[in-house]
Structure 1
Amino acid sequence: MIFNQKGGVGKTTTAINLGCGLARWHSEPVTLVDLDPQTHLSAALGFRAETLSWNVSDWLAGATAGEGPKRIAERLDLVPGDCNPPPARKLTRRLDDLAGHLVVDAPPTWNDEVASLLAACDCVLTPLEPEFLSMQGISRLMQRMEAAGISWSRLRLLLCRYDQRLAVHREVRARLADRFGEHLLPGVIRNNVRLAEAPGYGQSIFDYAPDSAGANDYCALVHTLIADKTWRESN
């Protein structure tokens, strides 16, 4: 699950490219789930959520009537978002009976729905920008995870929009590594304009600009997470 209580940190970009990358380089099917009412994930993949008869609210409730998930590519499906979710939307379906990988783009809000999904998922991937206030946000997230009984071993931090030339970015990265240790992933997503352009064409970075820094960085992320056994063994 991809979650940060702060918006605009690269959640949706990470969801798209992680999901597409897993479908490319791993043999299991991938389902992208657009949980954010802004439905940016759906829009970035070419779907207007408000025009669809079946969406993530139906999926959470286990409802099968309607259009169902959208096929994006081989081994890759999308559960479209809901622009107007019901106020008491809850997770009633089982997640452990789903085949393959599930990549959930969560809203930047902590609520019962998000907490339920975080408790059910294997890995909590938190994109963040290299700013000093990001550390405060991660500490707050860890406190809420602990209060909800969700193991910190599931948490992985991903630095996005990183520029090695900036001293503040290097310093924040060093402080995050010192404070959060193994939770911080070794790779970063560098600041790359191609990542911002790709959604406008309904494509992942691998299709839009396969030779870009953004494609290289998300490729590395996919392989890092596939090889990361720590969170699997501890859940």
Structure 2
Amino acid sequence: MGKIIAIANQKGGVGKTTTSVNLAASLGVLEKKVLLIDADPQANATSGLGISADDVETGTYQLLEHSVKAKDAVIKTTSPNLDLIPAHIDLVAIEIELVDKEKREYMFREALLGMEDQYDYILIDCAPSLGLLTLNALIAAHSVIIPIQCEYFALEGLGKLLSTIKSVQKIHNPQLDIEGMLFTMYDSRLRLSNQVVEEVRQHFSEMIFDTIVQRNIRLSEAPSYGESIINYDASSKGAVSYLNLAHEIISKDK
């Protein structure tokens, strides 16, 4: 049975989508069957894999509305073993539309029933908020990856995210686990980067991935070509980092 992993942090610009796309592509080249779900109305994971959000007719919005089955919302990508459920700007409206629905927090979980049998990993790229969309993803997931940017406000909001995860574990999804915290945009030359790593390690040593994603120009360039870093430049530092992360996750699950 496949594992559902949400990639979440309500802070924007911490590398959630970069991690979602490149981890998914890395797991794919390591011969795991992967489904990436774009659950962010900005649809950056969709465009980052070369699919125009404007062309999306069936995606996460319809999935959460339960107007389509998950298998009918899936599209193939050019990345090996990687499928996508894309997003569109329409997704912005879903939180308002779900507000008065019964079991509104469980829409994702219900929509994905049976999909775990089709994939080794299902990754959900969450929106930068702790709204109903992210809550749905956390309730559907087996675990969560928290990307942490190696910058000044890295720990800001982390407490709030962890308490949201705790309350999801307590009320909705006792099986939810923290897969790990992932340092992103690390620059070893900056004292600040090293201080952030040190500080987070002091507080959360057990939860941190060994892999650290360094600042890398190729990693920033890849989305503008609609490619994962694995397709764009497999020998770059960014590609090596995400392949290492994929290995770490796979070995954890053995």
- Fold conserved between structures, TM > 0.5: yes
Q: How many residues were matched structurally?
A: 229
| Residue in 1 that maps onto 2:56 | 52
Structure 1 segments, 4+ long, off by >4 Å, are none
> Is 1:10 aligned to 2:34, yes or no?
no
Q: Is the 8 A contact 1:192 1:213 kept in 2?
A: yes
Q: What amino acid is aligned across from residue 56 of structure 1 in structure 2?
A: T
Tell me which of 21, 44, 62 is aligned to 2:26: 21
Q: What amino acid is aligned across from residue 103 of structure 1 in structure 2?
A: L
Q: Is the 8 A contact 1:54 1:66 kept in 2?
A: no
| Residue in 1 that maps onto 2:235 | 211
| 1:209 CA displacement | 1.0
Structure 1: gaps of 5 or more residues: none
> Is 1:88 aligned to 2:97, yes or no?
yes
| 1:155 CA displacement | 4.5
| Residue in 1 that maps onto 2:3 | none
Q: Residues 129 and 74 from structure 1, CA distance in 2 versus in 1: closer, same or farther, beyond 3 angstroms?
A: closer
> Is 1:35 aligned to 2:47, yes or no?
no
| Residue in 2 that maps onto 1:102 | 122
SS in 2 for 1:131: coil
Post-superposition CA distance 1:197-223 (Å, at most 9, x none): 111111111111111111111110000
Q: Is the 8 A contact 2:70 2:111 kept in 1?
A: no
Q: Residues 165 and 29 from structure 1, CA distance in 2 versus in 1: closer, same or farther, beyond 3 angstroms?
A: same
Q: What amino acid is aligned across from residue 21 of structure 2 in structure 1?
A: I
Q: Distance in 1 between matches of 2:89 and 2:160?
A: 27
| 1:52 CA displacement | 2.2
Tell me which of 69, 73, 77 is aligned to 2:74: 69
Q: What amino acid is aligned across from residue 52 of structure 1 in structure 2?
A: V
Q: What amino acid is aligned across from residue 197 of structure 2 in structure 1?
A: R
User: What does 1:192-203 correspond to in 2, within 5 Å?
Assistant: 192-203=216-227
> Is 1:124 aligned to 2:130, yes or no?
no
Comparing 88-97 and 15-24, the one that deviates more: 88-97
| Residue in 2 that maps onto 1:222 | 246
Comparing 147-156 and 33-42, the one that deviates more: 147-156
SS in 1 for 2:136: helix
Tell me the TM-score normalized by structure 1: 0.89
Q: Residues 76 and 62 from structure 1, CA distance in 2 versus in 1: closer, same or farther, beyond 3 angstroms?
A: farther
Identity %: 29
Q: What amino acid is aligned across from residue 114 of structure 2 in structure 1?
A: D
| 1:145 CA displacement | 1.5
Q: Is the 8 A contact 1:53 1:67 kept in 2?
A: no
CA RMSD of aligned residues (A): 2.2
Q: Residues 129 and 65 from structure 1, CA distance in 2 versus in 1: closer, same or farther, beyond 3 angstroms?
A: closer
> Is 1:172 aligned to 2:178, yes or no?
no
Q: Is the 8 A contact 2:25 2:80 kept in 1?
A: no
Tell me the TM-score normalized by structure 2: 0.83
| 1:111 CA displacement | 1.7
Comparing 95-104 and 189-198, the one that deviates more: 95-104
| 1:158 CA displacement | 0.6
Q: Is the 8 A contact 2:148 2:154 kept in 1?
A: yes
Q: Distance in 2 between matches of 1:227 and 1:178?
A: 24
